[in-house]
Chains A and B, each alone.
Chain A
């Protein structure tokens, strides 16, 4: 039974950030490849501030400010650069954050990560934690669905379809981009805080590129722009990911092989998903 609660908690740690990423990448067609960088930055700011001040609330507020600032940088980059150049440079920002965390070991403990993160007094059991995560996920999905169906969601779609036409109709591109990335910052704080509280360990390796590729895979496999589709993709693919850990019990393969096999399998799934969704992943503009 504990494994079921564990799975529900893991779903809950993915749902806020991936459903928001669906809004940015899937619906808004912004090639933002740095959501894991935001989560990593948020996690370190939250933990370091909470440790220094002894207050989780201050840590959380600091993490939110950090996430908002970094997201504002991404939004600014997305406005200044062409979409593909923004994609590459957002990976560069992610790389930069990883390098700073790995090298500033006096502050971040470098590649060792930060262990024994104190847990919040509530929820006290695995079951309660799973219930809290379920409620939080449902509320977040409802909120994102409301945003998706609001005028803001339509403005995001319009900008993705044709930037100049949308702007000529009075849609403010700057406001829409900053707002979309700000929602991303909130989701990253929520997801990071619950993940750290559950795992009790902050390690830079958990925020490397395979994590980012999972984001893209959830969005593409679940149908770009579809909140419920990406939620379903999270459930199915996390089940697959967690299930792979049991393979060595049934097949004569070493545990060390599981990591690379997971990379290959998820790469193939992502490729298959792009093949399947190739006509709707990016908006084709009509030409004569």
Chain B
């Protein structure tokens, strides 16, 4: 039971980050390799506001999300927008440059030592024999609400229909008067704001460290690729599946003989996805679109 709860916690965090990114990939067809830095920036900004400026936690969290949004807007205008029309792979390289710049800035401002937004142990609840903290319960609940909200927006509102139409065929959507430029910008910023919120959760539940950036990025994109690139629900399902796989790998006494050490947790999951993609490169769910 504890393994399932742990998978639900880790999966909720991954789904929060990967869900928005799947939409971005569907709309723009780009990968942002500075995603992990956005996640960390949200966490570090909250840590700074709460621990150094001693602002209330709620205000600090809102400040962290706001910093994430500002950073994302800057990322889009400087590192994505001038390039993705030329070639959709260009932002992959420009965001590598951005990740390097922000790694340097994070190291200069916050050093490499781990930082926790709320140090100390938080109260633990017992649910069906499994232990879970209040913050973790909040994360699971918030992710569930956000996913339901996304489902409602995507499938029951005119905005959702416009987004889905643009994902299916950008030029057809433009010819029908859909403002695709505005949609690109807003979905990109919204998705990365969710990623920054994920960073704040990491800072509250665990510790922030500059070394986390690339593993977060790669795990989120692995979920998107394994889910069938651009498929929103596929990415979310795969985020939960990867988290479950990670928990089962280290939590089970394999063949009654050995445990997989915790250090290999994410590695084995990533290698499993690589093998899976070698067999089924399109991922679990393929989104087909008509081409001329």
Chain A residues in the interface with B (C-beta under 8 A): 31, 76-77, 80-85, 87-89, 91-93, 95-96, 99-100, 102-103, 209-210, 213, 216, 220, 257, 259-264, 266-268, 270-271, 274-275, 278-279, 281-282, 284
Contacts and interface: CB of A to CB of B under 8 A. Distances in A.
Given A77-B278, A279-B86, A281-B87, A95 B267 contact: yes
11 contacts: A81-B225, A81-B281, A84-B92, A85-B281, A88-B218, A91-B214, A95-B215, A257-B108, A267-B101, A268-B101, A270-B96
A278 B274 CA distance: 30
Contacts of A264: 100-101, 104-105, 108
Counting from the closest, the 7 A-B pairs by CB-CB distance are: A263-B104, A267-B100, A103-B263, A267-B101, A264-B104, A270-B97, A260-B107
Interface of B: 30-31, 33, 79, 82-83, 86-90, 92-94, 96-105, 107-108, 214-215, 218, 221-222, 225, 229, 261, 263-264, 266-267, 270-271, 273-274, 277-278, 281
Main secondary structure of the interface of B (DSSP, over half): helix
Main secondary structure of the interface of A (DSSP, over half): helix
Contacts, number: 139
B263 A102 contact: yes
A196 B214 CA distance: 26
B270 A96 contact: yes
B267 A263 contact: no
Contacts of B108: 257, 260-261, 264
A227 B133 CA distance: 56
B283 to A, nearest CB: 9
Contacts of A274: 83, 90, 93-94, 97
B267 A99 contact: yes
Given A88-B218, A260-B107, A263-B104, A271 B79 contact: yes
A102 B86 CA distance: 40
Contacts of B218: 88, 91-92, 95
B212 to A, nearest CB: 12
A89 B277 contact: yes
Contacts of B96: 213, 216, 270
A268 B100 CA distance: 9
Contacts of A80: 277-278, 281
Nearest to A103: B263
A18 B179 CA distance: 43
Residue among A210, A257, A282 with max Cβ neighbours from chain B (10 Å)? A282
A260 B112 CA distance: 11
A213 B33 CA distance: 12
A88 B222 contact: yes
